[in-house]
Structure 1
Amino acid sequence: MEEIERKYRVVSTEFKDDSHQKYTIKQGFLNTHPERTVRVRITGSTAFLTIKGKSTADGLSRFEWEKEIDANEATQLLALCEPGMIVKDRYLVKKGNFTFEIDEFYGENEGLIVAEIELNNKTDSFEKPNWLGEEVTGDTRFYNSQLSKNPYKYWKK
């Protein structure tokens, strides 16, 4: 399974007015090796175990495998994760044929808001809302696995 996505900084909170769904995510990483990450994620009463491979050179795609798991088991797995829990609210915004997933981070990543859009093909075009800022696709600092190790609050502004 290949995941194709582009990632952007978000420059305003106007996306909240366009959002049709919001939920909180808590996630940790069992492994953050550059070649692969293993993530445990809880969203409400639903939980997932996800394995992601290394990104392509352009940062647009990588292997992704995901399986729903029991939420109680996920809570136990979170206790085994590497330091650096990620907590964020995710907003969904539909634009044309695509849905943007906008993550507003909390804790040590407070102040960071990032939008992702999953594409069917690397060449897909889409409408860019006015709240979409600089593209950061392929910039590993914005990977959740890296934010868990090097939180946004420690970046030099």
Structure 2
Amino acid sequence: MGVEIERKFLVDQKAWEKLEKPEGLHYQQGYIPSDDNCTVRVRIAGVHGYITLKGRTKGISRSEFEYEIPLADAKAMLDQFTQNGTEKIRYKFPAGNRVWEVDEFLGPNKGLVVAEIELEDEHEVFEKPTWITDEVTDEMRYANSNLAVRPFLEW
């Protein structure tokens, strides 16, 4: 069984604007209606399609199953089955023995920049780049599935 152990942080906007960034990848994702025990996400990342099932979060961990699917299928699922979604550019920054994934949101979430780090253990110690600010791991409004329903620009 796949397990996602993830912490999420806000990014300092001024530092972000000055930061030399690697090439980002465009993400479009939508959510298939489900319940509190499972989130079903369809994602297009560049030219690849994915379907992901995520279980209920316990602490900073949850079960996660992600599978690559044909791009045409991902597009059809987004069109036919999702009611809401998010769009963003994702950047990857190596730091120590981990990689920070930084999402610069577009559309109704424009202006929000969030950094995530996936860990091997909930208590793992990791390096934080200087452009990382407040931790928002436990603030559900920053979950992508929630941003799809209640966008940042509506807060």
Candidates 51, 54, 79, aligned match of 1:52: 54
Gaps of 5+ in 1: none
Matched with 2:87 is: 87
Q: Does 1:117 align with 2:117?
A: yes
Q: Structure 2 CA distance, aligned partners of 1:39 and 1:140?
A: 16
Runs of 4+ aligned residues of structure 1 deviating over 3 Å after TM superposition are none
Please state how far the C-alpha of 1:14 moved relative to its aligned partner.
5.3
For the 8 Å contact 1:14–1:131, the answer to whether it is kept is no
2-structure distance, mates of 1:9, 1:38: 24
**8 Å Cα contact 1:54-1:62 kept in structure 2:** yes
Deviation at residue 32 of structure 1 after TM alignment: 4.7
Partner of 2:67: 67
> Any gaps of 5 or more consecutive residues in structure 2?
none
Question: How has the CA–CA distance of structure 1 residues 9 and 81 changed in structure 2, closer, same or farther, with 3 Å as cutoff?
Answer: farther
TM-score scaled by structure 1?
A: 0.91
1:11-53 per-position Cα deviation (integer Å, ceiling 9, x unaligned): 1315841x44410000000125221110000011111000000
CA distance in 1, matches of 2:18, 2:85: 25
1:32 and 1:50 map into 2 onto residues whose CA distance is: 12
Cα deviation for residue 117 of structure 1 reads 0.1
Instruction: Tell me how far apart the structure 2 counterparts of residues 146 and 63 of structure 1 sit (CA, whole Å).
Output: 18
Q: Which residue number corresponds to residue 27 of structure 1? A: 29
User: For 1:111-153, what per-residue CA distance to the aligned partner results, in whole angstroms no more than 9, with x for missing partners?
Assistant: 1100000001111111111110100012111111110111111
Structure 2-normalised TM-score? 0.92
Q: Within 1, Cα distance between the matches of 2:81 and 2:10? A: 27
- Which residue is equivalent to 1:76? 76
Give the superposition deviation at 1:154: 0.8
Give 3-state SS (helix, strand or coil) of 2:33's partner: strand
Q: Against the structure 1 CA distance between its residues 148 and 127, is the aligned structure 2 distance closer, same or farther, given a 3 Å change threshold?
A: same
Among candidates 32, 37, 40, match of residue 38 of structure 1: 40
* Counterpart amino acid of residue 49 in structure 2: A
Question: What does residue 106 of structure 2 align with?
Answer: 106
User: Is the partner of 1:128 in helix, strand or coil?
Assistant: coil
Partner residue in 2 for 1:139:
139
CA contact (8 A) 2:85 2:149 kept: no
Q: Which amino acid aligns with 1:102?
A: V
Instruction: Answer 1 or 2: which has greater helix percent.
Output: 2
> In the alignment, residue 69 of structure 1 is paired with which amino acid?
I
- Identify if the C-alpha distance between structure 1 residues 107 and 98 changes in structure 2 by more than 3 Å, giving closer, same or farther: same
